[in-house]
Structure 1
Amino acid sequence: MTTTLITGANKGLGYETARRLIEAGHTVWMAARDEQRGRTAADELGGSFVQLDVTDDQSVADAAETIANAGGLDVLINNAGIHGALGDPIQLTAADALDVYNTNVASVVRMTHAFVPVLRDSSIPTIVNVSSGMGSFTFVLDPERVESSLIMPLYQSSKSAVTMLTVQYAKALPDMRVNAADPGYTKTDFNEGHGHFTVQEGTDAIVELATREGSGPTGTIIDRTGVVPF
């Protein structure tokens, strides 16, 4: 049975991904920073809760030890993220940038550093990073795309960084499948219920990458229709 860890799994895309993968037969660790919300979500779906703050080195290390001792891991889904400060981009501060990059970018490094040793014991080691078309240069420069209509420098640049990290880790870890997923403009509380896609549609690419059983390409970013241009 495939064992999967999802960060930020107590709501939104993380919660729906957990629901779908549990339904598909995965054993799912649902990670959340807030213990009460995380346990409630895991109990609702039949997942296993692990407390994990992606911005804290010790929290990540403790979670890796817990999961390794419980039998190991096959699939890591780095889903947790924030959009950070909104409003006039000129008013953004370095502190705002560090906050977004710590949660969205440095967390991928933390999680990869801590969990690759655990994943090495799997026969189908897989990493799925939840990125975004908002970080695609092609999409944000295309006036026909919704991504081009928004100006969110910190969030958008952080997702460009996530995609590049995905490519670089894929090159560094040829024994693993390392890919990124673009959920698209999905209706969640992350964007106050706006979006073109349902939360199930938004998780299509994540679930696709998480269920390839260690096969397929590595170093790509896909959405629910195929490969996303960078």
Structure 2
Amino acid sequence: MENDAAKALLSIVREAATEFSTGKAFLDCLRIVLAKISMLDWTSMDKSTQYLVISDVKQKLPGILRTGCHVPQTLVADATISSGLKESVLQVGTRDKLVVSLTATCQAYPGFATKWMALNNVILLDTVADDAIDFGFDVTALETRSTKQIHTTLVALFQTFLAQVEFGRSRLTTEDQKCFDDFLAFILSRRKLKAVRWLHGALDGRLSKVRSTMEQRFVDPMVLFLSRC
């Protein structure tokens, strides 16, 4: 397995220029190298290397949960993050963008599938890009957030919902509110699935306990706190 990963890294290096044209190009290459390291046999890696990979994942997860993108860790708690500082989340070990579709989300959460497919007749859910939705604060630090801050996020998501729907009446009905609940559940579930898939790629089966701990500590609470009751 180590040889396979080494060969893959060599193929990437051969394709690249002898010098990095930009700092971003260097970071992209480094990200791929770290991804390849995560595929190696963990029993053959020293503790410092394991710590490096786990630390890298911990730094990136908050940005993915908040924005659906990679963002500098120092900016995750800021009120706003410029779109120019956001980078697409890639499938670990590749250069392909990690995209979670409506179909994949329905398969992962079959209990919601009927509602989401019905909602899709009103709003084409796949056209509401995951990486276009920023929850507005570091969702891995929910215990420090006030009810007002969470309410602000829900209002922003409601505005996103309204922008996708044409209303022929001036007042919202109970049915419209139910549609928003379904929309919110989809947005949160899709973001959770994206984060979980990325974690599974970054921390494979040999670090399943570490991965599970991160999911329980950071990913699951996001859905709980931001769900509209």
Higher relative contact order (CA 8 A, sep 6+): 2
Q: Which has the larger radius of gyration?
A: 2
TM-score, normalised to structure 1, is 0.26
Bigger share in helix: 2
